[in-house]
Amino acid sequence: MKSQLKQSITEKRNSLSKEELISNTNKIKNALFNLAQYKKSKTVMFYVSFNSEVGTHDMIKEALKNKMVAVPKVENHEIEPSIIIDFDSLIPSKFGILEPIELMKVAYKNIDLVLVPGIAFDKECHRIGYGFGYYDKFLKKVPKAVKIGLAFDFQVVDKVPREEHDVPVDLIVTEKRVVECRKI
């Protein structure tokens, strides 16, 4: 069931036109940037989008104007949060995802908000990622940070398969709604 769900959501996401991707991403960005949790955060950890994910490149560039911004750098099969000063300093990793050349560590306790990618989310804020477990391991290290999944509305389904080690997000922001799973 998990692999079928991943495949069908990924196919649907990949079938979005460039215009739909841009339009829906802009709606998601506006909703995110208007959330009280985002407004009061000082240090935000963004994922760096690739392929047909909700686009974060412009969000990161805008956030750099008034927030401390961290992005993932994968080292030894784990996500390390790295502060960035300039989006243009990111280079493709072995996965093809942009990441910092050098790690500029930020203390986990200083991260107020984490934006989390996923293939599918459910209404209880559990998620299916890409299957490496990187984000679940990382999210356990930032228990006080607000965790927000960014997704297109069709990526939110009734229920996703879950495992013991899975870490749910607190909110999901789509182009149509904000799904709140836990009062924060």
Q: Nearest-CA neighbor of 47 among 88, 85, 82, 75?
A: 82
- pLDDT (tens digit per residue) in 113-150: 999 999 999 999 999 988 778 899 999 999 999 999 99
Q: Nearest-CA neighbor of 78 among 99, 54, 55?
A: 99
Q: In the chain, what are the domain boundaries?
A: 2-180
Residues in the chain: 184
Q: In this predicted structure, which of 53-62, 79-88, 95-104 has the lowest mean pLDDT?
A: 95-104
CA distance to 26, 50, 84, per residue, from 152 (Å)? 11, 14, 26
- pLDDT (tens digit per residue) in 18-48: 999 999 999 999 999 999 999 999 999 999 9
Which residue type is seen at 118? G
Alpha helices in the chain (DSSP H): 2-14, 18-33, 36-40, 57-63, 134-140
- What is residue 8's predicted lDDT score, i.e. its pLDDT? 94
pTM: 0.94
- The domain made up of 2-180 has a fold known as Rossmann fold (3.40.50)
